[in-house]
Structure 1
Amino acid sequence: MDSFTSFLCLCSIIFQSISLIEAQASLCRTTCGDIPINYPFGIDDGCGSPYYRHMLVCSDLGNLYLRTPSGRYPVHGISYSDPHILVTDPLMWNCRDGDHFRPTRPFSLDTSTPFTLSSQNDYLFFNCSEDYVIVEPKPIFCERFPDRCDSSCDSASYLCRHLPECADALSASSCCSYYPKATDSLRLMLRYCASYTSVYWKTVGSTTDSPYSQVPEYGIRVDFDVPVTTHCLQCQDPSKGSGTCGFDTQTHNFLCLCKEGNVTSYCKGMFVSREIFHKFAMKVSNHFFFSCTGHDISRHKRAGVIAGTVTGISAAGAIGIGIGIWVLKKVRAKAPVTCGVQSNENRIF
């Protein structure tokens, strides 16, 4: 096999590998129901940050769920300015239950993810066994046992005395407030309490409003981090094409998702149009094929199939192919074209 034929083989491999990943920006849904889905989240694989891959699920009915080790929980809202997710646990106590408590399970998060339980959550436990749980008014207990203050469940808490939305829901049951520091402590509490619920403090108004206040609502606030990188900022920059931040599902490497195709930097100016590349590819293919056969490859349907698989090519890729043609001309000037016929002059082994 001569050097020219070897070069043709190499170019064939390059052409088969140069087809870019299918443009994914249009596949990244930006809402689920009425909840906006922005970076770092994604409900379609490859969208958003890989740190939150498969964390959110959008059902066929448009309901959004958060997946955790303890189950799937309905998402009621996402805030990106004050990064947090609000979820509910259908098994937790609610006002309609009153003194009737249903079996429940402890809510938990995967500690390897960037999710954390917000300090703005309060947990109320009902009908706890005082043989195993310290149920006392916290101020009085802390004065007597300051070293054990954190281990008590406050029976005099404000929320127990003013249950949100249903102050009189409990008539024959006890209530105390305790903040579990870990899933194990929450699981232990539920072993000795009939049920529990989570209340988060919702900010009303803004810092410019007066008065600045918070109100309690049922639900679980889960805080999250936004992993912002230079690549993502460039990708989202309107002056650089307003791409969508995503990642390669195989390697988890960053991808800027663009309409023309996916790149590793930003969208604007990174692609030669499909039409330009199609013409360019046809010329290169004709040049290669005509050198050996004397036939025009544009007459064959297969050429259209090959060119059609390419959605776009970076400017750097086009330059690389141009250099390849220049090298090809140099090779042809020095060696005869034998079209793969081995002879003593072109033998390589």
Structure 2
Amino acid sequence: MATSSHNYHIPLMIITIFFFYPPLIFSSAQSISICRTSCGDIPIKYPFGIDDGCGSPFYRHLLVCSNTGHLSLRTPSGRYPVRRISYSDPHLLISDPFMWDCIDGEKFRPTRPFSLDTSTHFSLSTQNDYLFFNCSEDKVIVAPKPLFCEHFPDRCESSCDSSSYLCRHLPECGSSALGKSSCCSYYPKATESLRLMLKYCSSYTSINWRRSGEANPYDYNEVAEPEYGVRVDFDLEVTRSCLLCEDTAKGGGRCGFDTQNQSFVCLCDDHEGMDNNYNATTYCKDPRYYSQQNHGKKIGIINAGSAVAAASVVGAVIIILGIGGFCLWKVRSHKPVTHGVQTNNENRLF
């Protein structure tokens, strides 16, 4: 009968864990945000999303935020760091680690052509200027463009301009950084033409002209400054459904999509005592949401917070079961044996 008191230890321990450590099981799930609004210091707004189901389905899985808060763009040619996103003048500026930089000087590293998936809503901006270095003049037409075009107008677009302003005024380092290496400017109209240029040139770089007036990108009186990077334009098509969803008077949701059929949904935080992370087909305060048909309907959102919360719950259950099992084993190990040999203070069955 003395060992029967151990039977009360198991439920007592389980109750203690739930009573004193509820944050381990419940708090992380309640604090999850539906869609992250930034990656590092770069704001993430519609049409983009770094959590599946957020933003527009046209840009699904194209932006990736690392655990260290670094944003990158996925393309067929690789992943590229995103330096900034402008929503007033819709574009991304990305860095290509394979492109030439002032630090390289005359040491040209192996490079690869940057490319975009033409099926996406991204496009290479015409505001990019491409400079090519040490091109073979047997394969590439390297000449001062104004003079060459005057004499050969039918071949003007095929020439690489050696009189380019940027070749003579390389941003951040000046033309002296190239030493005796040649430089010319050419705008490739397709990825294939870029590949051909790199086949006969040592390296290349992209320079974007950035206007200081980001608040008013259409004020062309603003002074433009050259900077290294590839400008990628994107379509910003805000629908009426999205505007209603984001209206703060109607609940201030975030525009997203169903991960199964990619139809539009309005993603909502906890509102007036309703369950966390619910979604509506119109806007968060739509009375139809409270109908039996829509109540409790969820959308699959895959994010780091959900994984952490799930892991916390699973971990807590494993801990509880482990402790309970250990206690149960200890209780059983002290039960008097009914057969076998008893030695010392341990009960062993042989």
TM-score (norm 1): 0.70
Q: Which amino acid aligns with 1:257?
A: L
1:243 aligns with 2:260: no
Equivalent residue number for residue 137 of structure 2: 130
Rounded to whole Å, the distance in 2 between the matches of 1:262 and 1:49 is 15
- CA change 1:318–1:211 in 2 (3 A) is closer
1:268 aligns with 2:285: yes
- CA change 1:50–1:217 in 2 (3 A) is same
After superposition, the C-alpha distances for 1:290-339 in whole angstroms (9 at most, x for unaligned) are xxxxxxxxxxxxxxxxxxxxxxx6326389xxxxxxxxxxxxxxxxxxxx
Q: Which amino acid aligns with 2:211?
A: T
Q: Are the equivalent residues in 2 in contact too, given 1:68–1:108 (CA < 8 A)?
A: yes
Equivalent residue number for residue 52 of structure 1: 59
Q: Are the equivalent residues in 2 in contact too, given 1:138–1:156 (CA < 8 A)?
A: yes
- Deviation of residue 270 (structure 1)? 3.4
After superposition, the C-alpha distances for 1:103-158 in whole angstroms (9 at most, x for unaligned) are 00000000001101111100000000011100000000000011111100000000
Match runs of 1:1-349 below 5 Å: 26-167=33-174, 168-205=176-213, 206=216, 212-260=222-270, 261-270=278-287, 314-315=290-291, 317=293
Helix, strand or coil at the partner of 2:192 = helix
Helix, strand or coil at the partner of 2:52 = coil
Rounded to whole Å, the distance in 2 between the matches of 1:203 and 1:50 is 30
Helix, strand or coil at the partner of 1:169 = helix
Helix, strand or coil at the partner of 1:188 = helix
Q: Are the equivalent residues in 2 in contact too, given 1:25–1:243 (CA < 8 A)?
A: no
Q: Are the equivalent residues in 2 in contact too, given 1:24–1:262 (CA < 8 A)?
A: no
Q: Which amino acid aligns with 1:179?
A: Y
Q: Which amino acid aligns with 2:279?
A: N
Rounded to whole Å, the distance in 1 between the matches of 2:208 and 2:294 is 56
Q: Are the equivalent residues in 2 in contact too, given 1:25–1:259 (CA < 8 A)?
A: no
Q: Runs of at least 4 residues of structure 1 off by over 6 A? A: 22-25, 207-210
- CA change 1:257–1:103 in 2 (3 A) is same
- CA change 1:25–1:263 in 2 (3 A) is farther
- CA change 1:113–1:96 in 2 (3 A) is same
Rounded to whole Å, the distance in 2 between the matches of 1:103 and 1:210 is 37
- Deviation of residue 269 (structure 1)? 3.9
Rounded to whole Å, the distance in 1 between the matches of 2:68 and 2:294 is 45
Instruction: Tell me how many residue pairs correspond in the alignment.
Output: 257
Q: Which runs of 5+ in 1 are unaligned?
A: 1-21, 272-312, 320-349
Rounded to whole Å, the distance in 1 between the matches of 2:234 and 2:195 is 23
Q: Are the equivalent residues in 2 in contact too, given 1:70–1:107 (CA < 8 A)?
A: yes
Q: Are the equivalent residues in 1 in contact too, given 2:211–2:217 (CA < 8 A)?
A: no
Identity %: 68
Q: Which amino acid aligns with 2:78?
A: G
Q: Which amino acid aligns with 1:253?
A: S
Question: After the TM superposition, which of the residue ranges 165-174 and 211-220 deviates more from structure 2?
Answer: 211-220
Q: Are the equivalent residues in 1 in contact too, given 2:34–2:268 (CA < 8 A)?
A: no
- CA change 1:202–1:187 in 2 (3 A) is same
After superposition, the C-alpha distances for 1:142-196 in whole angstroms (9 at most, x for unaligned) are 0001111110000000000000000021111000000000000000100000000
Helix, strand or coil at the partner of 2:33 = helix
Rounded to whole Å, the distance in 2 between the matches of 1:160 and 1:69 is 29
- Deviation of residue 50 (structure 1)? 0.2
- Deviation of residue 42 (structure 1)? 0.2
Rounded to whole Å, the distance in 2 between the matches of 1:25 and 1:244 is 15
Q: Are the equivalent residues in 2 in contact too, given 1:30–1:36 (CA < 8 A)?
A: yes
- CA change 1:98–1:87 in 2 (3 A) is same
Q: Which runs of 5+ in 2 are unaligned?
A: 1-28, 271-277, 296-350
Rounded to whole Å, the distance in 2 between the matches of 1:318 and 1:107 is 45
- Deviation of residue 226 (structure 1)? 1.1
